[in-house]
């Protein structure tokens, strides 16, 4: 069971990273004024499609499994830790800054932060009452 949990969490992390990379390249193109898609953006979109297919295959195996709850709670806890580090990751920047003149690392961190918040909200909304209780208990122990 631990291997399946780890595998599912790794697939979710790869999927999240692929989504962030696609959005990062899209934002760079929008704010950089480029009309052509750079090769990195094309590669990122291909990677995203592959990650989506891999996750969909794994997700269908988890549908009626008790492991699905463990995956949701573990992923939510990971995202909470990531959001907890947001102040350190984003501290030197202001979200009102002009993205066209921002360094790529700034844009990447903001895109990551936005996606982390969105994914966490979706996970929390999808949790059953039992998962919510386990999540709250785990969060409490994490914050101690």
pLDDT digits (tens, 9 = 90+) for 46-88: 999 999 999 999 999 888 788 999 999 999 999 999 998 888 8
**pLDDT the model gives residue 64:** 79
**pLDDT the model gives residue 106:** 82
What global pTM score does this model have?
Answer: 0.86
Structurally, the chain folds into a number of domains equal to 1
Tell me which residue of 75, 61, 51 sits closest to 126, measured CA to CA. 75
86 exposure class (CB count in 10 Å sphere: 0-12, 13-18, 19+): middle
124: domain range? 2-143
The radius of gyration of the chain from alpha carbons, rounded to an integer in Å, stands at: 17
Phi/psi at 64 (5° precision): -105, 20
């Amino acid at each position: 069971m631990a291997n399946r949990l780890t595998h599912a969490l790794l697939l979710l992390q790869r999927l999240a990273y692929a989504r962030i990379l696609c959005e990062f390249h899209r934002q760079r193109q929008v704010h950089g004024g480029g009309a052509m898609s750079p090769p990195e953006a094309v590669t990122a979109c291909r990677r995203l499609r592959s990650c989506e297919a891999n996750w969909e295959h794994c997700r269908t195996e988890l549908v009626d499994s008790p492991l699905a709850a463990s995956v949701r709670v573990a992923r939510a806890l990971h995202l909470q830790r990531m959001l907890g580090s947001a102040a350190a990751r984003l501290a030197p920047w202001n979200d009102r800054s002009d993205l066209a003149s921002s360094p790529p690392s700034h844009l990447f961190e903001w895109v990551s932060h936005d996606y982390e918040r969105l994914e966490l909200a979706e996970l929390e909304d999808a949790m059953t009452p039992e998962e919510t209780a386990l999540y709250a208990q785990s969060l409490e122990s994490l914050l101690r």
